[in-house]
Amino acid sequence: MSLRILLADDHRIMREGLRSLLEKQPDMEVIAEAENGRTTVRLSRELKPDVVIMDIAMPDLNGIEATRQIVAESPGVKVTALSMLSDMKFVREMLSAGASGYLLKDSAFEELGNALRTVTNNQTYLSPKIASLVVKDYLGSISTDDSSTSPVLTNREREVIQLFAEGKTTKQIASCLYVSIKTVETHRKNIMDKLGFSSIAELTKYAIREGLTSLDT
């Protein structure tokens, strides 16, 4: 039986190239594509693919938050990150969110195919460069741990930060998240208080630095 795959990437040419390569594999089938994280979450819930190939820097809802929601809502769906981002911060966040694999976009296609088959067998796949980063990060964490100094934001607060950073208004965010304007304003106040910020500009810089959004989304 073929692996049922959902492609999530905000660049159409990337999705088309991957679809063309994947559909040449006798044991793989691309069942849908998504250009942002929120659509990816919805399609994962509706279609229940075997695996999602997830970009990280996507508009509306980034790949990290989308992965977290997919794993919570559709535990049988595996997520493999395919990204240009090799910074350990993004790797750590994706794995913490529940991704089963992480590859870089400069990987050979054969490696991607191997990764997809690996994660659907309930194993973890990390490309060699990423695996090396994970080991170094683990060894470094034995002697240094700065997590206690980081502000603790809820998943919903991280969503709100991304949407504000992408220029959406309070009303638009409320509509997007199906909540009241007052609720969004409360989230914004809580976020500002936790981070010690006083402007949306500071929030935008934070969102970019933390990988919640990017300048090219």
Write a three-state SS string for 69-90: HHHHHCCCCEEEEEECCCCHHH
Amino acid letter, residue 66 = A
> End-to-end CA distance of the chain, in Å?
36
Residues 128 and 40 in one domain: yes
Dihedrals phi, psi of 59, to nearest 5 degrees: -75, 165
State whether 54 and 112 are in the same domain.
Answer: yes
Most confident of 22-26, 31-35, 188-192: 31-35
Residue appearing with tokens 């991607």: 112
Q: What is the CATH number of the domain that holds 79?
A: 3.40.50.2300
Half-sphere CA count of 72, side-chain side, radius 13 A:
11
Place of tokens 């919640």: 212
Q: Tokens 């691309």 map to which residue?
A: 30
CA distance 212 to 57: 8
Query: Who has greater pLDDT, 201 or 58?
Result: 58
Query: In the numeric block, which tokens belong to residue 168?
Result: 């959406």
pLDDT classification of 148: cutoffs 50, 70, 90: very low
Whole-number Å distance between alpha carbons of 170 and 83: 30
Please indicate, yes or no, whether residues 131 and 167 belong to a single structural domain of this protein: no
- What is the percent of the chain with per-residue pLDDT over 70, rounded to a whole number? 91
Task: Give CA–CA dist 97/206, Å, rounded.
Answer: 19
CATH code for the domain of 188: 1.10.10.10
Question: Any idea what DSSP says for residue 211?
Answer: T
DSSP E strands in 1-87: the ranges are 3-8, 28-34, 51-54, 78-83
Find where tokens 């529940």 sit.
Answer: 98
Same domain membership, residue 97 and residue 163 = no
81 CB-near residues (< 8 Å, 6+ apart): 54, 55, 56, 63, 67, 94, 99, 101, 102, 103
Q: Which residue has the higher pLDDT, 142 or 203?
A: 203
Which domain-ending residue is among 143, 168, 194?
Answer: 143
Q: Are residues 125 and 198 in the same domain?
A: no
Same domain, 137 and 160: no
In single-letter form, the type of residue at position 9 comes to D
Residue 149's pLDDT is: 52
Which structural domain range is residue 113 located in? 3-143
Asked whether the predicted pLDDT for residue 216 surpasses 90, the reply is no
Q: Given the structure tokens 């933390």, which residue do they identify?
A: 210
Q: At 215, is the pLDDT very low, low, confident or very high (cuts 50, 70, 90)?
A: low
Q: How far apart are CA 145 and CA 43, in angstroms?
A: 37
172 and 191 belong to one structural domain? yes
Rounded mean pLDDT, 121-133: 87
Q: Which of 54-63, 83-92, 94-103 has the lowest mean pLDDT?
A: 83-92
pLDDT band at 212 (very low <50, low <70, confident <90, very high): confident
Please give the tally of structural domains in the chain: 2
